[in-house]
Amino acid sequence: KQEVTQIPAALSVPEGENLVLNCSFTDSAIYNLQWFRQDPGKGLTSLLLIQSSQREQTSGRLNASLDKSSGRSTLYIAASQPGDSATYLCAVVGGATNKLIFGTGTLLAVQP
Amino acid sequence: SAVISQKPSRDICQRGTSLTIQCQVDSQVTMMFWYRQQPGQSLTLIATANQGSEATYESGFVIDKFPISRPNLTFSTLTVSNLSPEDSSIYLCSVGQGTTYEQYFGPGTRLTVT
The model's pLDDT over B67-88, given as tens digits with 9 standing for 90+, comes to 999 999 999 999 999 999 999 9
Question: How many residues can be counted in chain A?
Answer: 112
Task: Give dist(CA A104, CA A25) in Å, integer.
Answer: 11
pLDDT tens by residue, B10-69: 999 999 999 999 999 999 988 899 999 998 889 999 999 988 788 999 999 999 999 999
Number of H helices, E strands in chain B: 0, 11
Phi, psi torsion values for A96, nearest 5 degrees: -100, 45
Instruction: List the single residue in A32, A43, A103 with the smallest CB-CB distance to B105.
Output: A43
Query: Which pLDDT score is estimated for B96?
Result: 85
Task: Give dist(CA A9, CA A28) in Å, integer.
Answer: 22
Q: Which residues of A43-62 are buried (b: 16+ CB within 10 A; e: fewer)?
A: bbebbbbbbeeeeebeeeeb
A chain contacts of residue B44, beta-carbon cutoff 8 Å: 102
